[in-house]
Every structure is written in C-alpha cells, then in structure tokens.
Chains A and B, each alone.
Chain A
C-alpha cells in the first residue's frame, strides 16, 4: 500500500468508565472509499469523530493515541483546530443545512476563510453545486432558504458546502440513512466520482451499500477493529470467524 492518508495508531477512547475504542490501529488509503462497518454501538461513529476532533466537545471523553495525516499528528497538536477540521468535510446522518439561503450555504465556508469577492463566490458556488448535480435543480432559486429543498437535495447541498472549504478528506457518517433510495443512489454515485480527488471515509451498517462502493473495509465490533483490508479480499475471503458470520448475516 502507498503512504496512507490517515494512520491511526493505538487509539483508545473511554467515556467515564466505559471504554468505547480499544487500541485501534487503522490505515486509510488515499483517494479511495474506506467503509467502516459494524453493528450499532461498535464505536464506528466515535472513531470518525476522533478524526476531526469533534470528541473535543466532550470533557468526559478521554482520548489517547495518535492520528497521523501525512506526518502530522492531529490528535496531539496545539495547531489551530479549525484548520484541522477544514481538511475534512463532514456529511452527517441527516442534513443540517445552515439557516440561510442556498447560495450562502455553499458560500459560507469560502466567506469565513476570507474569500468575499462577489464574482469569485458566484463562480465557486456554481462549480460546487454542479459537482453534486444540484445546480440544475436550484439555479433559479439560489436566494430561497435552504429549508425549501427536499431532504435528499439538502444532503447534496451539505456535500457541496463541505467541498467548498476544499478538504482532502470526506467523512460521511451513514450519509444515506435518512434518505430515500434514489437520493441515496445519487450520493453513492457522487462518492464514486469524488474518490479520484478526495479520500472518502464512510460509516455504514448497510452491508449491501458497503459491498457496492467500498474499496477498503474496516470491520469493527465492540470497540475493536476485527479485520481490515481491501474490499474484494474482505468480502470474498474474510480471515476472521466473526467477520464471516457478520457477512452471512448471523448478527448485526
């Protein structure tokens, strides 16, 4: 494997007395879709939240270990945290559009990083909306509030908004769980296109979705990584007994 985009080393996280993540070691390859899979409550979302340091919001969570992006340990650094978070776009379980119009939702990230020229903003907003196939649907109502969009459109708007801050990595936490099948398919197709320029990490508990789009799989159970590897090896020839029974649908 080439130099991985994200390397997680000996990551432990405990919340009060309960240990949520146990000695996690994971490599996430560059410009591929990595799917973190496992039953509910296995710690997959928590693992993702460690990557963009949303775990900071919780004082009771004790985190130790290292997360390297390139050579930089983003877990133990005093660098500006907003800059670390900007490297990673987040797509949440359900869309959380900002309370402003469609245009400003995408322009938000550009504006807070100091890009305020109107012409520039118009060009970039169009670019990102086209990138998520939303431009044709909204070009005549850019000044309407984001709340008027359907939930599937809102999720694509959130993706566009995330791309607009020019991240290297896209973190997606069950991004299709609130969407209808057609909207879900649009998101999946988008991910397949975007992986040529972004590293995508996606959490899912839908086995079929993982099979459809994963290039690399991390399988977790009870806070531990059971198995990880390229998708075809993982699905065709799993090494661990637990993985085999999970893939057979014996537990979820």
Chain B
C-alpha cells in the first residue's frame, strides 16, 4: 500500500468515526428524552391547562404552553418572513451592482445570528419598557422576530446566491423589471430553499427560552389577545425541570417530547410542501 492510498484510508476512517460519533450523540439525546418523557406523556398533558397545584404534582396539563409557543413561533416566523424575503431579494437583485454593501450586510447578519438570544430578550425588554408594553404575547412575538430575522435573511440569501447570473441576465433581456424578476423568477426558482429557511427560523423560534423569558411572562391560561401574557414550551420545561418534585421533573421530559414532536411535524410538512413546489426548479 503506497502513501496516497494510506492517506485515503486514514481520512476516510476519520470521517467515518466523526459521522458515527455525532449520529450516536444525537440518537442518545433523543433516546434519553423519549425514555424519560414518553412514559409520563398522557392525554391530559396536551389537552388541559394546569390545574391548581400542577407544579406540585397535581392534575392538569401544559396546553397553555403548547398554544402559547405556537402563537409566538407562528407569529414571529410570519413576521420574519414578511421582512426577510424582501430584504434577501433586494440584496440579490437590486443591489447586485454594489457588492461591497451586500457583503457588509451579510457580515452584519452573520454577526447578529451569533448574538445569544438572552441579549435579544434583554433588548426586547428595554423596548417594552420604552413603549410602555407589559409582558405579553405581542412583546414576545416582536422579540423573537428580531431574533430570527437575521437567520431568515441569511438562509434565503444563501439560496438566492446559488441562482446563476445567466438566469438573471436572460430575464433582464426579456424586458423584465427587477421586481418582476424577484417574484416571477427568483422566488419560483428558490421556493424549496425558502421553505427550508422558514423551517429553520420556526425551529429556532419555538425552541428558544431566553428571548421569551423576559418578554412573554408566564401564565396558566391560554392568551386570548396580543396584550395578555403567555406561557411557552421552553419555559414550561425550564420551570418543571427546576422543581424538587420528581413527578414534575418527569413532566418536563414529557413536555420536551411534545416540543420535539411539534418540530418533527413541521419538518415533515415542510418536506412535503417542498416536494410539490420544486418541480419547476431548474438544476444548473
């Protein structure tokens, strides 16, 4: 066996070991959550709000947190898409001439993606005080939106960057305006990637505890308006996990199972949607 072959085997082995390792770690996390949570998951958990003394092991469920989290995540993801999609299209279509500005924006967005969510939580909190808002669903949605907008923009931007320049130029020479290219050509070509971006942002929005810690408050009731405080799943898990009572800690794992199930369901839905939308995509 010569040196080049040995090198090949060595690096292939290295890749195999690291892939196996990371897959095993992930499987172990999922296994430990499922084994700790599934036995304690029951219909009451997902169909009832907490009854008095729930946090001391009495009856009830966490429907308030499930609904609250969905409200926050769906609200924030929709807002982030409404802001992020135009920004990403603008960067890739209207600003193509000014590469330096676009790269500057990209750098800034990457920086924002790296800021811990507790900082966004604190920022949201100061905003709330400034506008005289109380801890509420609205404040939570706004904070989470600010937190996921950079992620949304960069994820869509990465997809738009893969569109070849020739397609842009071809569409221009057919006499299209830049907005026509945005929504008739680029949007259609990148729809699968946009769905992935939505999914990524949604996952971050529903799973993050720190950004809602200071802004949504916590309540046992399901909010009926934007001004009311709301519970969220990550916080429900956090509060239950820090309980001294074993039964409540076990419920925390059951809540984690619910959170994972929601994310799994959304992912599958997105895959199915992607599949039917990407048939017109051109593979260059």
Contact = CB atoms under 8 A, between A and B. Distances in A.
Contacts of A59: 97-98
Contacts of A171: 173
Given A57-B96, A145-B279, A100 B175 contact: no
Interface string A80-117: 00110110111011101111110000001100110000
9 contacts: A58-B97, A83-B175, A86-B174, A92-B169, A97-B282, A99-B188, A99-B281, A109-B174, A161-B174
Contacts of B188: 98-100
Interface of B: 96-98, 164, 166-167, 169-177, 180, 184-185, 188-189, 279-284
Given A54-B169, A57-B96, A99-B185, A165 B279 contact: no
Main SS at interface, chain A: mixed
A108 B173 CA distance: 12
B281 A92 contact: no
A147 B283 contact: yes
A99 B282 contact: yes
Given A52-B173, A99-B189, A147-B280, 8 more contacts: A90-B170, A94-B166, A99-B185, A100-B280, A101-B280, A108-B184, A145-B282, A146-B280
Contacts of B164: 96
Interface of A: 52, 54, 56-59, 82-83, 85-86, 88-90, 92-94, 96-101, 108-109, 112-113, 145-147, 158, 161-162, 165, 171
Contact of A82 (B96, B98, B177, B184): B177
A90 B281 contact: no
Contacts of B98: 59
A18 to B, nearest CB: 18
A96 B174 CA distance: 12
A145 B9 CA distance: 43
Question: 5 closest Cβ contacts across the A-B interface?
Answer: A86-B175, A90-B173, A99-B189, A96-B170, A99-B188
Contacts of B173: 52, 54, 85, 88-90, 162, 171
A145 B174 contact: no
A158 B167 CA distance: 11
B280 A82 contact: no
Contact of A98 (B97, B167, B177): B167
A86 to B, nearest CB: 3
A125 to B, nearest CB: 14
Nearest to B189: A99
Q: Which interface residue of A99, A101, A146 has the most chain B CB atoms within 10 A?
A: A99
A171 B174 CA distance: 12
Given A96-B167, A100-B188, A85 B172 contact: yes
A56 B281 CA distance: 28
Contacts of A89: 173-174
A87 to B, nearest CB: 9
Nearest to A166: B175
Contacts of B175: 82-83, 85-86, 109, 112-113, 165
A94 B167 CA distance: 10
B207 to A, nearest CB: 32
B280 A112 contact: no
A3 to B, nearest CB: 24
Contacts of B166: 92-94, 96
Contacts of B184: 98, 108, 112
A109 B1 CA distance: 61
Nearest to A97: B282
Contacts of B279: 145
A88 B97 CA distance: 22
A162 B169 CA distance: 12
Contacts of A57: 96-97, 169
Contacts of A96: 164, 166-167, 169-170, 282, 284
A56 B97 CA distance: 8
A152 B174 CA distance: 20
Nearest to A58: B97
Nearest to A83: B175
A174 B180 CA distance: 27
